[in-house]
Amino acid sequence: MKQTTVQISFEAEKLNALKQFMGLKEADLTAELNGLMDRLYEKYVPHSVRLYIDGRPEEEPPRPPRQPRPARKAAEPPAAPVNQANPLVPPVAPPAAPVCHSPAQETP
């Protein structure tokens, strides 16, 4: 499993004395602390949770890189007509056809 670091505060003088006397007995402080952490883990973490954590693979296999999707082309709006005589002037709509009324359609 992935390891992490635990940091605690402890009086410097006591730590120096601890290291000195552990050295006389050829004891390793880090190994002792790791053992204590294991015992705390077993004491407080429920058995079912420990089984779940211990049953997981060490590290998840790396996923293959995803292939980027091709960019979608946005629908382009139809081009506005351009005034050929002067492109800076907007085009003018052609005049509407005149409406003719025949005298037969008119009612007095």
**CA-based nearest residue to 37, from 29, 48, 26:** 29
Give the pLDDT of residue 32: 96
pTM: 0.49
Torsion of CA 6, 7, 13, 14, to 10 degrees: -40
**CA-based nearest residue to 35, from 46, 22, 48:** 22
Tens digits of per-residue pLDDT, 8-40? 999 999 999 999 999 999 999 999 999 999 999
**CA-based nearest residue to 50, from 58, 41, 39, 59:** 41
Q: Report d(CA 99, CA 108) in Å as an integer.
A: 19
Domains in the chain: boundaries: 29-59
